[in-house]
Amino acid sequence: MAFLRIAQVGHPVLRAPTREVSRDELLSPAFQGFIDDLVDTMHEASGAGLAANQVYRSVRVCAIEVKDNPRYPYKPNIPLTILVNPRLSPIGDELFDNYEGCLSVPDLRGVVPRHAELRVQALDREGAPIDTVVRGITAGTFQHEVDHLHGKLFLDRVVDTTTLCTWKEFSRHHEAGFRERVKAIVARYGS
């Protein structure tokens, strides 16, 4: 078990598009060990997801998992998912407002419009194809992580900058209202 350092906003590695991973590279023991470390680091930091370039490795891989997450107590659970070379295609044009934070952006949150329904195509960590649909808050988490792999941070997508807040002010002034909106989104999309 190894914990990796997490790059912070301002480091160029977060802004460079990542490169695709070949099947041979993916299946190598060294790369499988890296994926284990990525997952361990995500767990250690209580992240809902972690992209490889957030731990200074510019490859198109991210981990996502929500299991009663203390950082995001209102998020529906997502089983551990590794996406390799993911591609997201929005289904329909419905958007919802997601209040996001990021392990690479310390103590700041903001509202980001996200697609409510997405097709996800990727490989899993064994190289088998993933082709699935995600919705609602879960779709927001997938978009946040795949954005990282394209060098984008949630900050770039905040439309109303007056929503930016520290975590403390989020819990004081915005969390209750956002939890109500999350309930409506989960009721509508099932996740």
Among 6, 52, 88, 102, interactor with Ni ion by CB under 5 A: 102
Name the residue with the smallest CB distance to Ni ion.
Answer: 102
* One-character DSSP codes across 3-62: PPP---TT-GGGTSPPBP--HHHHHSHHHHHHHHHHHHHHHHTT-SEEEGGGGT--BSEE
Identify residues 16-75 at the interface with Ni ion (CB under 5 A). none
CB of 67 to Ni ion, least distance (A): 18
Residue 126 a catalytic site member: no
Give 8 or 32: the residue with its C-beta nearer to Ni ion.
8
Count of residues near Ni ion by CB under 5 A? 1
* One-character DSSP codes across 95-141: EEEEEEEETTEEEEEEEEEEESEEEEEEE-TTS-EEEEEEEHHHHHH
Choose the stretch contacting Ni ion; rule: CB under 5 A; options: 59-67, 96-104, 125-133, 158-166.
Answer: 96-104
Choose the stretch contacting Ni ion; rule: CB under 5 A; options: 15-23, 95-103, 106-114, 170-178.
Answer: 95-103
Burial class (CB in 10 A: 0-12, 13-18, 19+), 103: buried
Active-site residue identified among 65, 100, 145, 175: 145
**Residue numbers annotated as active site:** 145
Residues that bind Ni ion (CB under 5 A): 102
